[in-house]
Amino acid sequence: MGTAAPMDDCSLPDDSLFLGFDSSTQSLKATVLDSNLNIVASETIHFDSGLPHYKTKDGVYRDHLVNGRIVSPTLMWVEALDLLLEKLSASRLDFGKIAALSGSGQQHGSVYWRNGSSAKLSSLDPKKRLVDQLGDAFSIGESPIWMDSSTTEQCREIEKAVGGALELSRLTGSRAYERYTGPQIRKIFEREPEIYHNTDRISLVSSFMASLLIGAYASIDETDGAGMNLMDIKRRAWSKIALEATAPGLEEKLGKLAPAHAFAGFIASYFVERFHFNKNCLVIQWSGDNPNSLAGLTLNTPGDLAISLGTSDTVFGITSDPKPSLEGHVFPNPVDTKGYMVMLVYKNGSLTREDVRNRSAEKSWEVFNTFLQQTPPLNDGKMGFYYKEHEILPPLPVGFHRYVLKNFMGDTPDDLDEHEVEEFDPPSEIRALIEGQLLSMRAHAERFGMPSPPKRIIATGGASANQSILSSIASIFGCDVYTVQRPDSASLGAALRAAHGWLCNKNGSFVPISCLYENKLEKTSLRCKLSMAAGDQQLVSKYALLMKKRMEIENRLVQKLGRR
Ligand code: XUL
């Protein structure tokens, strides 16, 4: 844990509330905790259905003219905040009791404030909605988001300028990735220099939402800031060399970095007057959704792994001694001033599961689950790679690839010759999808030095409610699988960080987050429960063989079709 001042009183004021948001790809959510850390309210605005006039699909626009360009309308996020607060108000949430709030943003997405917009932010009229006042506040109306893969050229340029991909990873925690904010900024600077110059401030989704709430430009927090290829991961400060490799005059457009537990500002008077927040309500720095999930899952043991099955699938854990490499990401731990979190990210998560379900399981999760239960573990050697979107890990284009292994029950991987096939029967297709996603996670987690087998896995995200998927996780990873009471760990983690930030603020410096929940974990919304015991060891070893084979095929696919 980080350097912490001693703290005698870790209690939160009775009758106070802590609000956490999650501004994600498909929705804006809010979770409210009381001072015993129990959930007392939650609300969601789904972008496609709740704000249909933006005409998004899955919360995004997929540009059919520019390969890989995926953006979201910035104003939609603003209007979602208007709507969500109205919904919470209609549900009689007493805003006056909220002592602190914080939030999660989808990582890497960026917002471009037009020159002079800070004046607009600081003088919002409480009689009008935000969306009606910020229409011309952005120099770019469509924010690039984490699903974008249109910046391969900029990635290569940045890596070259800092001395190679591995060097950039050692410096910033990741090699250059298309969705990372630095390459996105460089693309704008190269293609639309006038827009770049008309931009006063560049925010991440996290610091953007915090800016709305404090009525001023909020800092980028050190954890989400590590998802930009711009921050020196060890010093937790902007890296001059990375900034210079990206675009001129960038540091002043980014503003200062701040630790995740820091106070961003008091809630803007706009919200005090319009929704009756207490004027002393603290806004704690927002951070990325994955870092906040780490907080929401109370992940604090190096041997534990979390698997989040959402729009993106992610695998993450904590370490004090990270080894940034050509794969995976290292970020500062948002609730520990010295430690780090390590993470793998897959773009083909729930939208791909849904797509394969629609094609092969009659558009029904029930049928999907029946197919998973009907088919044997190991799928009789049928193995699939399903990329509905350009994948991040491995970097492969859209396409589905299916293989059948001959001699499948052989004891060494060399026995396992495979041949490619066009299709599987529907039940095998579903199992090939799930086993494929999980085997890839295990293989890449091991290659990145994550614990193997993990002490335990904590599963979260929508698909963690699915017992058949949990059972496959237990058999493939060979460890117990835990789940949390509610699958939305990012907004829960944000609410928890709001309470943590409140304590740090009261103490005048950082206090360990464990101070908040010591002795009460079992009684609160944060409780993890064992959902699936580890699979049998023989099966785990057979999966290890299959995993080796999968990586061989994957490497071949990358050599043949890969973007790098
Ligand atoms: C993380 C990533 C995604 C987004 C999803 O690197 O790209 O998990 O954070 O919101």
DSSP, collapsed to helix, strand or coil, labels residue 13 as coil
| CB-ligand 1 contact for 491 (6 Å cutoff) | no
What number of other Cβ atoms are within 10 A of residue 211's Cβ?
A: 26
Q: For residue 533, which of 465, 477, 464 has the smallest C-alpha distance?
A: 477
Q: For residue 31, which of 466, 486, 464 has the smallest C-alpha distance?
A: 486
Determine the residue of 345, 347, 348, 444 to mutate for testing ligand 1's pocket, defined as the one with the most ligand atoms within 8 A of the Cβ atom.
345
Question: CA separation (Å) from 277 to 96, 268, 272, 497, 513?
Answer: 5, 9, 4, 19, 25
User: 312 alpha carbon to ligand 1 midpoint, in Å?
Assistant: 6
What is the pLDDT at residue 1?
40
Q: For 97-118, what is the mean pLDDT?
A: 98
Q: For 11-32, what is the mean pLDDT?
A: 97
What is the pLDDT at residue 564?
62
Q: For 481-496, what is the mean pLDDT?
A: 91
| CB-ligand 1 contact for 471 (6 Å cutoff) | no
Whether the bond between 453 and the residue before it is cis, its omega within 30 degrees of 0, is: yes
Residue 59 has pLDDT above 70, yes or no: yes
Share of the chain above pLDDT 90, in %: 89
C-alpha to C-alpha distance for 169 and 263, rounded to whole angstroms: 29
| CB-ligand 1 contact for 106 (6 Å cutoff) | yes
| Tokens describing residue 203 | 């925010």
Tell which atom from ligand 1 comes closest to the C-alpha of 108: 7
User: 23 alpha carbon to ligand 1 midpoint, in Å?
Assistant: 12
166, 142 contact by CB (below 8 A): no
Q: For 489-506, what is the mean pLDDT?
A: 96
pLDDT band at 67 (very low <50, low <70, confident <90, very high): confident
Tell which atom from ligand 1 comes closest to the C-alpha of 107: 9
Residue 491 has pLDDT above 50, yes or no: yes
What is the pLDDT at residue 525?
74
User: 146 alpha carbon to ligand 1 midpoint, in Å?
Assistant: 6
Residue nearest to atom 7 of ligand 1 (CA): 146
Task: List, for residues 357-385, the tens digit of each pLDDT value.
Answer: 999 999 999 999 999 999 999 999 999 99
| CB-ligand 1 contact for 154 (6 Å cutoff) | no
Phi, psi of 134 (to 5 degrees): -115, 15
Residue 297 has pLDDT above 70, yes or no: yes
| Tokens describing residue 3 | 């350097």
Task: List, for residues 209-251, the tens digit of each pLDDT value.
Answer: 999 999 999 999 999 999 999 999 999 999 999 999 999 999 9
Task: List, for residues 131-158, the tens digit of each pLDDT value.
Answer: 999 999 999 999 999 999 999 999 999 9
User: 379 alpha carbon to ligand 1 midpoint, in Å?
Assistant: 30
Determine the residue of 179, 294, 460, 491 to mutate for testing ligand 1's pocket, defined as the one with the most ligand atoms within 8 A of the Cβ atom.
179
Residue 409 has pLDDT above 70, yes or no: no
User: 494 alpha carbon to ligand 1 midpoint, in Å?
Assistant: 16
What is the pLDDT at residue 14?
93
User: 52 alpha carbon to ligand 1 midpoint, in Å?
Assistant: 24
C-alpha to C-alpha distance for 209 and 85, rounded to whole angstroms: 13
| CB-ligand 1 contact for 97 (6 Å cutoff) | no
Residue 448 has pLDDT above 70, yes or no: yes
| CB-ligand 1 contact for 292 (6 Å cutoff) | no
Residue 534 has pLDDT above 60, yes or no: yes
Determine the residue of 23, 29, 106, 293 to mutate for testing ligand 1's pocket, defined as the one with the most ligand atoms within 8 A of the Cβ atom.
106
What is the pLDDT at residue 524?
77
Task: List, for residues 149-194, the tens digit of each pLDDT value.
Answer: 999 999 999 999 999 999 999 999 999 999 999 999 999 999 999 9
Task: List, for residues 388-406, the tens digit of each pLDDT value.
Answer: 999 999 999 999 999 999 8
C-alpha to C-alpha distance for 262 and 515, rounded to whole angstroms: 17
pLDDT band at 518 (very low <50, low <70, confident <90, very high): confident
Residue 4 has pLDDT above 80, yes or no: no
User: 380 alpha carbon to ligand 1 midpoint, in Å?
Assistant: 33
Tell which atom from ligand 1 comes closest to the C-alpha of 289: 9
| CB-ligand 1 contact for 108 (6 Å cutoff) | yes
| CB-ligand 1 contact for 494 (6 Å cutoff) | no
Average pLDDT across the chain, whole number: 94
Task: List, for residues 458-474, the tens digit of each pLDDT value.
Answer: 999 989 989 999 999 99
What is the pLDDT at residue 10?
85
Q: In degrees, to the nearest 5, what angle opens at C-alpha 365 toward C-alphas 363 and 370?
A: 110
Determine the residue of 58, 107, 184 to mutate for testing ligand 1's pocket, defined as the one with the most ligand atoms within 8 A of the Cβ atom.
107
Lowest mean pLDDT among 25-39, 42-56, 514-528: 514-528
Determine the residue of 184, 307, 312, 391 to mutate for testing ligand 1's pocket, defined as the one with the most ligand atoms within 8 A of the Cβ atom.
312
DSSP, collapsed to helix, strand or coil, labels residue 349 as coil
Q: Which residue has the higher pLDDT, 223 or 535?
A: 223
User: 518 alpha carbon to ligand 1 midpoint, in Å?
Assistant: 30
312, 346 contact by CB (below 8 A): yes
Q: What is the pTM of this model?
A: 0.95
Torsion of CA 390, 393, 395, 398, to 10 degrees: -30
Task: List, for residues 298-326, the tens digit of each pLDDT value.
Answer: 998 999 999 999 999 999 999 999 999 99
C-alpha to C-alpha distance for 249 and 401, rounded to whole angstroms: 45
Say how many Å lie between the first and final Cα of the chain, rounded: 37
- The whole-angstrom distance between residue 320's C-alpha and the CA centroid of its chain comes to 21
Q: For residue 383, which of 426, 345, 346, 420 has the smallest C-alpha distance?
A: 420
Determine the residue of 29, 72, 108 to mutate for testing ligand 1's pocket, defined as the one with the most ligand atoms within 8 A of the Cβ atom.
108
| Tokens describing residue 131 | 């969306």
Tell which atom from ligand 1 comes closest to the C-alpha of 343: 6
Question: CA separation (Å) from 543 to 201, 337, 423, 536?
Answer: 49, 38, 22, 11
pLDDT band at 129 (very low <50, low <70, confident <90, very high): very high
Phi, psi of 243 (to 5 degrees): -60, -45
